[in-house]
Every structure is written in C-alpha cells, then in structure tokens.
Amino acid sequence: MALQVWIDGQYFDKDQARISVWDHGLLYGDGIFEGIRAYNGRVFRLEEHLERLYRSARSVLIEIPMPLPEMAETVLDCVRRNHLVEAYIRLLVTRGVGDLGLDPRKCRRASVVVIADRISLYPPETYQAGLKLVVAGTRKNAVDALNPRIKSMNYLNNILAKIEAIQAGAAESVMLDRNGFVTECTSENIFTVRNGVLFTPTPVVGILEGITRSVVMEMARSRGTRVEEAFMTTHDLFMADECFVTGTGAEILPVVEVSGRPIGEGRPGPVTRELLSAYRDLTRTEGTPVYPEGQPLPEA
C-alpha cells in the first residue's frame, strides 16, 4: 500500500498528496511545523512536541483548527495507517489558502498536514566516526527579526548555512549570532564537554529550544553532571574535550572536528557515548503507544 498522508481530515496516497499553490505556507513560508520520532511503536515526547507547536501557532496568530488531544490522536492514527513501528512524523500547519498578497486575513482557515515515514539522516557509521563541522559565515536570524523559538516553515537562513557546509565538504555548519556567539547548527542544537561540565548555548542568543536538547540536559543532570547554559564562542568549541549535536532526526551525534580543528582527541568521547546509549535506551521504552497494548507490532 502507498504511504498515506493526512491533509485536513482526509488521507491521500503519497503521490496524490497536494496543497494549493495559493497556500501561504508555500507562497511565504507562513506556517509552523514539528518533527517527531516514533520508536518501537511509541511516539517519543509527543505531548512536548505538540505543546511547542501550539505555542508557535499562538505566537504567529495561526488558529489551529483542532484541539491538542485531537491532534495527538491524528498523529498516532497516521503512524498506524502506515503500519510503522519506527517512524519520523512531520506535522505542518500553514496559514492556509489566501491570495497572492501578504495579508494573513485573506487565509480563512489554517491547513494541517501529517506525514509519517521512515528517516535516516546519517548512516550508522557516523555515530562511531563523528561529524566534521564548519563555522558558517551566514549569521543566525536575530531574535528581534525572527525568533527561532517559533518553529516556522521559513528555513532559508538555515539552508544557506547548510550550503556552506556542503561546499566546504563538511556535514553541518555552526551558526553564530550577530555578536559572534554560538547559537546552533542548521538543524541541531550543540553541546560541549569541558572538565566534566556540559555546556550548551543559552536561549538568549537565539536558538530553538529542542526537545532532544531538553532530554539530554535531563539525563546529564540525573547522572550528576553539571549542565550550564552559557554564552559560547568558537574558542569554546575549539577548546572542548568533547562536542556533540542533538536533534529529533539526528538524535545525539558526536562531533570530532570544527573548522579544521580536532575536538579533544579527535574521536567521540566517553560522555557523548554514554549519553547516546542512555538516549537510545530511553526512546525504546518511553513514549505514547501507537498500537493497543498486547497487539503485535507490524513488521518493521
């Protein structure tokens, strides 16, 4: 059976899933989204993702045409409909169909899209070998221009920095704010380890407060590791004992080089490996069940 995509209350085959060319999400990036993972038949941190989605909607004055509990059930149903056990869920809310002008009042009803599919951002060997990053010349959007706490559909700023990484032969770019402080990568948050302390950029510099980021901070503190949200410069990256990035798609990925400088010993460090192992254990056991208890899971 073809992959099924949920659009405004109906399922469509993947090849038949369409939105209007007058949709403001397509015309102007006027919308919000979430990326969510399911592991072992459970959706991980579903409530946190949906709460962030509804906060983003409130911030940009998009009225989501369904309450949060109904949205949660729609996500679960889409995973079930596609017989998935391991899944990546992309949840989109656009302002909806309007005209060719900017006026959001012309969009009478927001549109909701739920996609559930498989994902593999990085091959398994990357988690053993680690990533090489570069520092991008493209600066992160200023908080007073487009606040990154709103998970909007407009990612051109990030894509420009991603192009820099590709052109440099690296996997990812680290983005700085206009004052030169480290913010995040194009699609992941970033952490360093120095003298046994875990550091990550403060939200003040303009980052998406990632769900995986929060989970990592929880896990580290539960193990007695000190965690600091700090103003960080590239010097802090270069001098780190360890470095890693976090994201729903990437999970926890070690970083072994930044702009040609090896991090620590130039290989994944013990804190990173421990956190990755703990995260994988957590995601296999925690989450909102997709299938009724006792029902055999579909074959992956």
Report the pLDDT value the prediction gives residue 120, as an integer from 0 to 100: 81
CA 299 from centre of chain: 26
- Give strand pairing partners of 244: 191, 254
Model pLDDT, residue 240: 98
Q: Crossing angle, helix 270-285 and helix 211-222, to 10 degrees?
A: 110
Query: Catalytic residue numbers?
Result: 151
Identical fold for domains 4-117 and 126-285, yes or no, is no
Give, for all 300 residues of the chain, the pLDDT tens digit. Answer: 799 999 999 999 999 999 999 999 999 999 999 999 999 999 999 999 999 999 999 999 999 999 999 999 999 999 999 999 999 999 999 999 999 999 999 999 999 999 999 988 888 899 999 999 999 999 999 999 999 999 999 999 999 999 999 999 999 999 999 999 999 999 999 999 999 999 999 999 999 999 999 999 999 999 999 999 999 999 999 999 999 999 999 999 999 999 999 999 999 999 999 999 999 999 999 999 999 987 888 876
- Going by CATH, does the domain composed of 126-285 fall within 3.40.980.10? no
CB 126 within 8 A of CB 116: no
- Domain residue spans in the chain? 4-117, 126-285
pTM: 0.95
The amino acid at 25? G
Distance (Å, whole) CA 272 – CA 154 = 31
3-state secondary structure string across the chain: CCCEEEECCEEEEHHHCCCCCCEHHHHHCCEEEEEEEEECCEECCHHHHHHHHHHHHHHHCCCCCCCHHHHHHHHHHHHHHCCCCCEEEEEEEECCECCCCCCHHHCCCCEEEEEEECCCCCCCCHHHHCEEEEECCCCCCCCCCCCCCCCECCCHHHHHHHHHHHHCCCCEEEEECCCCCEEEECCCEEEEEECCEEEEECHHHCCCCCHHHHHHHHHHHHCCCCEEEECCCHHHHHCCCEEEEEECCCEEEEEEEECCEECCCCCCCHHHHHHHHHHHHHHHHCCEECCCCCCCCCCC
Instruction: Supply the pLDDT for residue 300.
Output: 63
CATH architecture of 4-117: 2-Layer Sandwich (3.30)
CB 253 within 8 A of CB 245: yes
Q: Which residue has the tokens 């994988």?
A: 280
> Phi/psi at 216 (nearest 5 deg)?
-60, -40
pLDDT value at position 119? 86
